[in-house]
Structure 1
Amino acid sequence: MKHLFSLMMLLTVTWLSPANAEVVKLVTLQYPPYQYQEEDQVKGMVVDIVNEAFKRLNMDTQIRLNAWPRSLSMVKEGQADAIFTAYKNPEREQFLDYSKTVLMPQEVVLFVSKDSTISFNGDLTSLADYRIGIVRDISYGSAFDEARKNGTFKKLSEATNLEQSVRKFQSGRIDILISNRYTALAMFKQLGLSGQFKSLDREVQSVPSYIAFSKANNLSGLRDKFDNVLQEMMSDGTYNNIVKAYSE
């Protein structure tokens, strides 16, 4: 009887072990600090959140970084099970089952030096005379992009990438840096500049992004399970702890 009990316990452990877990195939794009390739590993803030959620569902993940159109095509055709971090629109909803819970809000904010007196009340015209650092060909949300198109800003300073823009910021050549919040915080940390800048209280715009599952693979049930686990992670502090690890 003792041997039978031991065998049953061994089978139970084997069934629950990651080696026997179902594998979910995920696609996304290179977008640090949310998701990025480092040597042969895919890492990042959202990668850690997604991996932890599927771990709680006893599922392994295979994550592939592609150009965004390629990732969308793969999940549409059922070559991948899910995609993140995806904005929601009617066209994509034709072939994707979106999570009900927002996976990661994409916050566009304004950074100033820590002793700056600049403020922002939501009116972009109030920033017209400041030197604002931007990265060429990057969208900062419909509100800022439209204001830029209309010639609201008189002193935009373009850079080829975020690091170059931050270097300008550090040297005092711009007054305001506009960026995705966590992308900028990760860059400050990478360059040893954490604590030198602050974000203004009012965000420019926040666009929710989600994980979305392939309708071709009939995964609405898995979507619901993922939603439940994601909410659990938000409640027990795991979600916030992961975010803090990449932003402090």
Structure 2
Amino acid sequence: MRLSVLVLSGLLALLMRPSAAEISVVLASQEDFKPYEWREGDQIKGFDVDIVQEMARRLDWKVEIKLYPWKRVLHEIAAGSVDGGFSAFRTREREEYAIFLDPPIHLSTYCVFVNPERPIVFYSLEDLDGKVLGKNLGFSINSEFDHAQKRGRFEVIEKSMSHNLRLLAAQRIDAVIGNALEVDYMARELGLEEKIEGLPTKVASDTPAHLIISRKSPLAKDPELLKLMEETLRHMLEDGTYAALLKKYQ
């Protein structure tokens, strides 16, 4: 009798699990973060967007992507207003309200960018003392940089990357701290390649940026669905899909 109950319970669980075509996921991400994600007319574009949409296509899931300022993205995920988001650095605080999936969506390389007409030297954070820097609003570089910023060792102007690069080109700030792919892409788009130069020493080691799932989402309560998402991302990385999609933005 007990075996029959267990078998019946298992069958009911299978019947109650939604089919792939019935699964709809709402994800949030940073607005105006070229080339990773941005809105163009009624379309949402970008490398990270391509990765997420390809994952959903392979799973036969429906995915809706919403773009907000980054602080709101994290708030929506923590509140469970969306199923998850991308692309987030792993921190203890974020792990309290979100599950981080592997492999990451991309690796972020943060560098110092200067105007070659007024260059500075950078080998360590001490070289930035007293400087005026630009970086993306709401973005964390790493704990060492964030701590130095809080101590006031340098002034940081937190605006959009396009705004910061224009300030640098006009020599109104000393440097921009930014994601290398983002800065290179934006400098080309703004026609500022001759005014923007990356320094060889990285501000931080390459940092993984992940697809994360809100712990308040139904997805978080289904380990099999989370495993499917991770396996699909892993296959995309191994079969060259990541690299092929990235070429569009380099």
SS in 2 for 1:202: strand
Q: 1:79 to 1:220 in 2, by over 3 A?
A: farther
SS of 1:200 mapped into structure 2: strand
**Corresponding position of 1:10:** none
Stretches of structure 2 lacking an aligned partner (at least 5 in a row)? 1-19
Query: Is 2:27 the counterpart of 1:26?
Result: yes
Show the 5 A alignment for 1:90-239. 90-113=92-115, 119-121=121-123, 123-128=124-129, 132-135=132-135, 138-141=138-141, 142-153=143-154, 158=157, 160-194=159-193, 197-205=196-204, 206-215=206-215, 216-217=217-218, 218-239=221-242
Percent identity of the aligned residues?
28
Gaps of 5+ in 1: 1-18
2:245 to 239, 242, 245: 242
> 1:110 touches 1:203 (CA, 8 Å); kept in 2?
yes
**Mapped contact 2:102–2:234 kept (Cα < 8 A):** no
1:86 equivalenced with 2:85 (yes/no): no
Query: Following the alignment from structure 2 to structure 1, what is the Cα–Cα distance between the partners of residues 76 and 90?
Result: 17
Contact map agreement 1:108 1:140 (CA 8 A) in 2: no
Structure 1 pair 244–170 and aligned structure 2 pair: CA distance change class (3 A)? farther
Cα gap change, 1:127 to 1:28, in 2 (>3 Å): closer
TM-score, with length taken from structure 2: 0.71
- Corresponding residue for residue 9 of structure 2: none
How big is the shift at 1:98? 1.6
**Contact in 2 for aligned 1:98/1:223 (Cα 8 Å):** no
Contact 2:115 2:196 in 1 (8 A): yes
Do the aligned partners of 2:149 and 2:156 also contact (CA within 8 Å) in 1? no
Give a deviation string over 1:55-107, Cα, whole Å, max 9, x none. 12222311122455654455456553322223333444344322032223333
| Alignment correspondent of 1:15 | none
Q: Distance in 2 between matches of 1:169 and 1:20?
A: 48
1:6-85 matches, within 5 Å, as: 20=21, 22-33=23-34, 34-68=36-70, 71-72=73-74, 74-76=76-78, 78-85=80-87
Q: Which TM-score applies when normalising by structure 1? A: 0.72
Residues matched between the structures, number? 225
Q: Distance in 1 between matches of 2:23 and 2:162?
A: 40
CA contact under 8 A between 1:212 and 1:223: conserved in structure 2? no
- Does the C-alpha gap of structure 1 residues 165 and 30 become closer, same or farther in structure 2, counting only changes over 3 Å? closer
Q: How many angstroms does 1:125 deviate by?
A: 1.0
